[in-house]
Structure 1
Amino acid sequence: MIEGFHGLPYDRPLTRTRELIQVLRMGLRREPLEFSGKTIQVPLAEGEGLGLGKPLKLLNKPERADVPIWVAALGDKNVAMTAEVADGWLPFLFYPEKAGEVWGDPLARGAAKRSADLAPLEICAGGMVAIGEGPETKALLDFMRPMYALYVGGMGARDKNFYNQLACEYGFEAEAKQIQDLYLSGKKKEAEALVPLEWLEAGNLVGSATYVQERIAAFREAGVTNLSVTPVGDDPAGTVTQIKEWVS
């Protein structure tokens, strides 16, 4: 994605993210942007560009200088870096009961280096939400299959797919390989059918009122501080209102 769509080399990703956060915070504090890092040079160094660059600062005054910066990270080192320097973490395809096993150590390593000037790391995760009895409600989970199959099977390259690796870390090694093989062969429907129902049920909040409340508790137990949901059904606004009551 970085090299094919953005046209940038995929090098020093952790350093690049760390430096980007530093530069963003400088800008939000309305400091003159003068930064010499390993991946970011602001302004451009002498001999690059037209030579007209100079340290600038925002003309507008942000309402606050500490606008939260959240990072969507998956790999161990990236998650550790996020826990160290970011305000929030956005894990994807989250499985609450297995989150500690997969990310517990990286989160702990990052937290140990976290500055006392930063508030505790916030975590935002969730999924589709539908409240109802009967198999017709559970069947709504099938709407999530294309997205899971896309990321596990079709993102990145065959030997460099962070979502596929995540599926393996969750314990779905066989399914991850089959999904990728099918997806890259153009057999997307077959790939979708192999997304483990266990993962879909754990990562979303679909079922009876009691079950959905149990999923909310599981996300909270896994350290999630902000629950992000996509309601489906006849009354999405009512569903969100109900979720808010259960979360509070």
Structure 2
Amino acid sequence: YGSDAVTPLAWIGAQTKNIKLGTAIMQMPGRTPANAAMTAMTLNQLSDGRFLMGLGLSGPQVVEGWHGVSYKMPLTRSREYVEIVRAIFKREDRLTYNGKLYQIPYQGEDATGLGKPLKSTLHAQPDIPIYLAAIGPKNVQLTAEIADGWLPIFFSPDKYDDIYKPYIEAGFAKAGGGKGYHNFDIAPTVSVVMNDNLDICYNMLRPMLALYIGGMGAKGKNFYYDLACRYGYEAEAEEIQNLYLAGDKGAAMMKVPGALIDEVALVGPRERIKERLPLWLNSPITTMNMTVFDIETLRAMVELVEELS
């Protein structure tokens, strides 16, 4: 319910030549698979193959409250959506699909019967990489099975073995065909705040974490609240959510513990970040999508990664 994920990439792509262009994320319930595939194929051609397709389910509050469609069967939606998009990319035949959520051509009771299978007129790269955003165990496993990469938010490298590893590796096993860490991109979004005052750093990230843990979903249906609980912050998450939903956002923000911020972000003076960065670089992640508040921090992070490599 803000800017869309695609239009800025077209502008960025027109100004650049080398950087990859990825969506994080295109909400699947807000677009038909065919619409998303057409968009991806077009951007990939315009950018000379630089596009990475990041997809996600969002949540029921946004899907039903903004897009006006049902949030039912989210895992089934992801699987069917990716299968349809890949079929469109490949152009091996006219598109037909008979799933639980998607039937192409449409076969509902109100169908005219005039729909016919079509094939994209756009010849594009048949293997445009598809990434999925996922944080729940079943969704993470599905991502490792069917996607080319994973876009986790609030990723904790310290908790990877306990929270994520069993589901990632179960997904690899189900996929078969030699799929594993060597051909799967784990690409978390990592907030970086570089400042000599650690409290300033914490306070710059507290609003976002409070919003997600406290307000990005209803009680009993907030994936980010659940993630904080799995990380061991059950009491803090409960307090944050109660305050946020009661309208006291300021108090909710101040209840976000610094320890949680340190788990999912890189904050503090340059030397402190340098000390903590190896935990990330030595984890299974292969791409760090860094979010920064100023270009100087981004340049400093490039220098630190080069120093530690």
- The DSSP-based 3-state class of the residue aligned with 2:288 is strand
- Conserved? CA contact 2:236–2:257, under 8 Å: yes
- In the alignment, is residue 221 of structure 1 matched against residue 290 of structure 2? no
d(CA) in 2 for partners of 1:196 and 1:233?
24
- In the alignment, is residue 50 of structure 1 matched against residue 112 of structure 2? yes
- The DSSP-based 3-state class of the residue aligned with 2:163 is helix
Aligned to 2:165: 104
Q: What letter is aligned with 1:143? A: M
What are the superposed Cα offsets for residues 18-70 of structure 1, whole Å, 9 maximum, x if unpaired?
A: 010000000111242111111111110165333221111211111x2111111
- Conserved? CA contact 1:85–1:115, under 8 Å: no
Higher relative contact order (CA 8 A, sep 6+): 1
Aligned to 1:179: 240
Aligned to 1:142: 203
Aligned to 2:100: 38
Alpha-carbon shift at residue 91 of structure 1 (Å): 0.9
- Unmatched runs of 5 consecutive residues or more in structure 2: 1-61
d(CA) in 2 for partners of 1:156 and 1:106?
24
Alpha-carbon shift at residue 111 of structure 1 (Å): 1.2
d(CA) in 2 for partners of 1:228 and 1:234?
14
d(CA) in 2 for partners of 1:39 and 1:101?
33
- Conserved? CA contact 1:149–1:191, under 8 Å: yes
What are the superposed Cα offsets for residues 94-151 of structure 1, whole Å, 9 maximum, x if unpaired?
A: 121012211121112111112327572211114222445x32x552231111110011
- Conserved? CA contact 1:138–1:206, under 8 Å: no
Alpha-carbon shift at residue 92 of structure 1 (Å): 0.8
- In the alignment, is residue 158 of structure 1 matched against residue 254 of structure 2? no
- The DSSP-based 3-state class of the residue aligned with 2:111 is coil
Q: 1:240 to 1:52 in 2, by over 3 A?
A: farther
- The DSSP-based 3-state class of the residue aligned with 2:188 is strand
- Conserved? CA contact 1:175–1:196, under 8 Å: yes
- Conserved? CA contact 1:126–1:203, under 8 Å: no
Q: How many residues align?
A: 245
Alpha-carbon shift at residue 10 of structure 1 (Å): 2.2
Alpha-carbon shift at residue 233 of structure 1 (Å): 4.2
Identity %: 39
- Conserved? CA contact 1:85–1:114, under 8 Å: yes
- In the alignment, is residue 25 of structure 1 matched against residue 86 of structure 2? yes
d(CA) in 2 for partners of 1:234 and 1:10?
38
CA RMSD of aligned residues (A): 2.1
d(CA) in 1 for partners of 2:307 and 2:157?
18
1:127 to 178, 183, 190: 190
- Conserved? CA contact 1:79–1:103, under 8 Å: yes
- Conserved? CA contact 1:231–1:240, under 8 Å: no
1:65 to 126, 130, 142: 126
1:15 to 55, 66, 76: 76
Q: 1:214 to 1:66 in 2, by over 3 A?
A: farther
